[in-house]
């Protein structure tokens, strides 16, 4: 029996190679909030951290465990959240991430974990306001 190698889009390969925004926030001013979700049965764990300053998300980073699609999607979310106003819609959801990364349908469960971590982060953010 031979396993088929996953077919990753160029965007996934780029983000997975660089992992922009991975790690922890550097020391600084402002309030830190976090959101986390895990579903080991789906092969994903994601934690977002954001620094809130002057009504905006001044910085955002992530730590994640999962496949290249999971890590690439977490990088996309963290980049999009940086400098975002605290109020208003974010427009990020699992379906959009799957489309942007040209991911196969079987990865949707992992993108839903990322969406849950984002929701947890935004819920903490709203309590801080």
Q: pLDDT in tens for each of the 129 residues of the chain?
A: 445 557 899 999 999 999 999 999 999 889 999 999 999 998 999 999 999 988 889 999 999 999 999 999 999 999 999 877 767 667 889 999 999 999 999 999 999 999 999 999 988 766 655
Closest of 105, 96, 115, 111 to residue 48, by C-alpha: 115
Q: What is the pLDDT of residue 106?
A: 93
**Helices vs strands, H then E, count in the chain:** 4, 3
Distance between CA atoms of residues 126 and 96, nearest Å = 23
pLDDT score of 2: 43
Ranges of each domain in the chain? 20-128
Q: Which pLDDT value is given to residue 99?
A: 95
Assigned token pair, 108: 């949707």
For 99, the token pair is 């489309």
CB contact at 8 A, 72 and 11? yes
CATH number of 20-128: 3.90.1010.10
d(CA 89, CA 76): 16
**How far is it, in rounded angstroms, from Cα 108 to Cα 115?**
10
Question: To which residue do tokens 């979310």 refer?
Answer: 77
> How high is the pLDDT of residue 4?
52
């Amino acid at each position: 029996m031979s396993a088929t190698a996953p077919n990753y889009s160029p965007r996934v390969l780029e983000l997975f190679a660089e992992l922009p925004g991975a790690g922890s926030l550097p020391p600084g001013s402002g309030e830190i909030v976090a959101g986390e979700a895990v579903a080991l049965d789906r092969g994903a764990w994601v934690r977002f951290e954001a620094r809130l300053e002057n009504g905006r998300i001044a910085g955002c980073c992530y730590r994640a465990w999962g496949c290249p699609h999971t890590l690439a999607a977490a990088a996309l979310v963290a980049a999009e959240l940086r400098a975002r106003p605290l109020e208003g819609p974010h427009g990020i959801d699992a379906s959009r991430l799957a489309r942007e990364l040209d991911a196969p349908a079987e990865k949707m469960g992992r993108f839903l974990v990322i969406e849950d971590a984002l929701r947890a982060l935004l819920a903490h953010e709203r309590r801080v306001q």
